Amino acid sequence: MTRYIVRRVLQAVPVLLFISIVVYGLIIVSPVDPMAIYED
């Protein structure tokens, strides 16, 4: 069971990295400034 958990965690690392890169890219490409939404 420990090997299964370790294997799943190691598989999740590249997926989370890929998702982070995609979201960062979408934020950079978007025409709206993300911080302008939170300014009063």
Q: Enter the pTM of the model.
A: 0.66
Rounded Cα distance, 21 and 15, in Å: 10
Quote the pLDDT of residue 40.
65
Q: How far is CA 38 from CA 10, 21, 29, 31, 32, in A?
A: 35, 22, 18, 16, 12
Half-sphere exposure of 40 (CA within 13 A, CB side): 0
Query: Average pLDDT per run of 10 along the chain, which is 40 residues long?
Result: 96 98 92 79
Rounded Cα distance, 33 and 22, in Å: 17
